A and B are shown apart, each in its own frame.
Chain A
């Protein structure tokens, strides 16, 4: 999910840096030149270049880069007035980030902006270009992941959660700004409970934004012992998963705060089909392990030194629905254990990647994000150096059943299943999310999705997909969070690529994924990399919502193109869910409506799996059923045609068409009834 990061924060960091960069360069330009000496000249050059983007590396031999001829490759920069390009997507609204999570000022001279610059310790704001003041001051408040319930959208932020009313998506309205800092603010929602991840040391139990103060300097007599003074444990610090009661959407209350040793970079809601009393939270912590004085039992030692180390595990929180205040960690599964030797660091092959260049090795001592699919009893974990598959039928004790690595992968970041559970799409967050990784020379196999086939609990690599358009060197861009788009008969995912925008990909054929829609903006700044772009892009009940890190919340609709018909879009819109937490994947089931049948027909026409005259006859029969309001005669026609599809079904040359023909026949036989769901 979300989960960038190691990414999330990294991104911010990068952005901040870049931004500062510009500033610094400008400042330097006005500084009187030092006496010319070779070393002084070198230092000055270093200063000048400190904030400029790194020159792009050469494309490794045998690799293909991004497409420089795509219209998205050269969009005009701007915060709110950047150039835009889209295909198959209509932008309905941008709701700017709420005031509580930014400065809320449009004027760089606003005292609020200057105050924030002081907080950021900007040395000489007068020398910074005015437009940069605003951008700089907004960095501490990055938007993160999304969750949905009914007409409410929950947008995480490093500083809290924004709650929106999306009953009219084109007119999305802010309801509540929940202030509670601690980053990254990954969110999930279940009935009256809202869950939120916290990992940073400024997180406090009481949601205060004051963080923790430095200790006063020791008296001079103790100065020399300063290093060895043991600091007081911060019992008010909070790193873990917060639980809020949102029964009153305009007055959420914190009911529990479950502490963990590494905090929670991301978390995943798990609803066990066999347990109505509780829900579970899988916690992925990626950061430092805190001291046992602050939280009993925490150890950051390597496994050979301490078998109780907080490394090499995930945590499982059990939340009793009748008493959420009693939520607690009930297990810490060693999901990386070597089953033969019992070594808990059994998957430690982060250093084996063959990728050349400035790659950092990634240990598999953490998961970054986990997607659970309870309907098939499996979870896919993106765990730093590996992708793993877990059997979660006993949710408290998940068991690893497979693990994969990939020579082109840097950091296993997130995962999602196809609806039928036969494919898994992993993402590689090469560069941590803060780097420009979609430049002309960046290989299209790096920082990409990797699509795996899944059968008998085994993952098999099939192909890569990377948003194809080249992006500038001031646009952070790499694969990030996405969700399925419920078009029946196809596997389609909408996905965020940071400043690479949003890309909708068809992976029905896992060996040949292709793009069917997109939206992109130009960079925030043409000279420095300012952190921005889409953290998540998810489909929810007919619309696509994009969580834009710097700008706010975007709302989109899909529009018909040669790649996607009106019928297919309308069929997707027949699917309604009460809640959506993307990492708690739910099986999509389509109603047996005639519009769904029409979507299948469009697909069978596209793939030429059905003769043209037969398609025409079917369309005509469906139309007369609709216009006659399901007259008896028209229903009999549909049934007759449904039977005639049996021979086509038997002749189908691929599984996708075979499934479409089967599902189409089922609707025509019983329009109005529900299609039986596929079983694992």
Chain B
């Protein structure tokens, strides 16, 4: 059986906190009133209910830095996100153009070389970078930001295309030279060019995460992390192809 002490306790802890917006004193007064006018049976029922409420009330706690006390937050606390960053938007817009050049480079492969390994690598790069371009466009569109139109293959290939170059992008002269090369010379220029191109993407990711306030969006963080890992792996594969190719040419 519950005692008066238990009841008051339940009242104070379970129902009278700031959570419900009632002051402790106000509720204590209410409790007293209720006590005075409630039959014993009702009293017990109420007690049970009060205990249940006390048991059920979860707390919201925000710890402090290590060694510092934690803070109790109101139960109405909702999640918050860091402010959006202009650098995030610029990263996505720039990376779309950057990726578009990789796709344009791989588009040259079928007509410029018979190298099976390079063809298969090119198909993979083309496919994954095209997918990522779609992802980046969706990300920007969803946030109401301008979505760069990706120049078509032809435009990318035009040496006079007036486009600002993102880090690692091939210059118009390099693109022109690549377009004119054939077979093993093409293979070599493609691999060195794409390594340069991918290293530029790594620089862009590094710059992004070094920019204050940037990279805190979960999707963008994931995308940039994945792009970084993928391009590192592809650079290693391309370096391996160059090393393998070197001795063959010497023979």
Contact = CB atoms under 8 A, between A and B. Distances in A.
B26 interface: no
B230 interface: yes
Range class of the B interface residue count: 35 or more
A464 interface: no
Contact of A99 (B78, B128, B210): B78
B216 interface: yes
Interface stretch (B66-74, B101-109, B182-190): B66-74
Contact of B221 (A123, A201, A302, A384): A201
A184 to B, nearest CB: 9
Interface in A113-138: 116, 119-124
A257 B65 contact: yes
Given A6-B226, A140-B79, A212-B212, A50 B138 contact: yes
A202 interface: yes
A175 B58 contact: yes
Which of B81, B218, B224 counts the most A-chain CB atoms under 10 A from its CB?
Answer: B218
B216 A363 contact: no
A412 interface: no
Contacts of A357: 127
Contacts of B226: 6, 10, 360, 432
Interface string A79-100: 0000000000000000000111
A251 B237 contact: no
Contact of B224 (A288, A302, A363, A432): A288
Interface in A12-37: 12-14, 16-17, 20-21, 23-24
B21 interface: no
Interface stretch (A101-109, A479-487, A621-629, A631-639): A101-109
Interface string A227-266: 1000110100000000110000011111111000000000
A327 B85 CA distance: 34
Nearest to B125: A360
A357 B210 CA distance: 34
B219 interface: yes
Which of B69, B75, B78 counts the most A-chain CB atoms under 10 A from its CB?
Answer: B78
Contacts of A148: none
B213 A212 contact: yes
B87 interface: yes
B63 interface: yes
Contact of A358 (B56, B131, B229, B237): B131
B138 A17 contact: yes
B149 A17 contact: no
B60 A363 contact: no
Contacts of A255: 66-67
B27 to A, nearest CB: 21
B62 A207 contact: yes
Contacts of B215: 200-201
Given A9-B222, A121-B143, A255-B66, A250 B61 contact: yes
A628 B218 CA distance: 63
Given A214-B212, A251-B70, A360-B128, A120 B61 contact: no
A205 B237 contact: no
A210 interface: yes
A357 B131 CA distance: 12
Which of A12, A14, A177, A205 counts the most B-chain CB atoms under 10 A from its CB?
Answer: A177
Contact of A12 (B65, B135, B210, B219): B219
Nearest to A300: B206
Given A141-B79, A176-B58, A16 B142 contact: yes
Nearest to B63: A254
Interface in B86-126: 86-87, 124
Interface in A382-437: 384-385, 432
A404 B152 CA distance: 42
Given A177-B61, A214-B83, A214-B86, A253 B229 contact: no
A183 B128 CA distance: 26
Contacts of B35: none
A291 interface: yes
Nearest to B76: A99
A101 B79 contact: yes
Given A99-B78, A120-B143, A358-B131, A178 B63 contact: yes
A178 B61 contact: yes
Which of A179, A256, A362 counts the most B-chain CB atoms under 10 A from its CB?
Answer: A179
A200 B59 contact: no
Contact of A23 (B59, B142, B223): B142
B222 A12 contact: yes
Nearest to A25: B141
Given A100-B77, A201-B216, A365 B64 contact: no
Interface in B122-152: 124, 127-128, 131, 134-135, 137-139, 141-145, 149
Contacts of A213: 82-83, 212-213
Task: List the 5 closest A-B pairs by CB distance, nearest first.
Answer: A123-B144, A211-B82, A20-B142, A214-B213, A9-B222
Given A302-B232, A359-B128, 10 more contacts: A50-B134, A119-B80, A173-B58, A205-B66, A212-B82, A214-B87, A234-B212, A286-B229, A288-B225, A325-B67
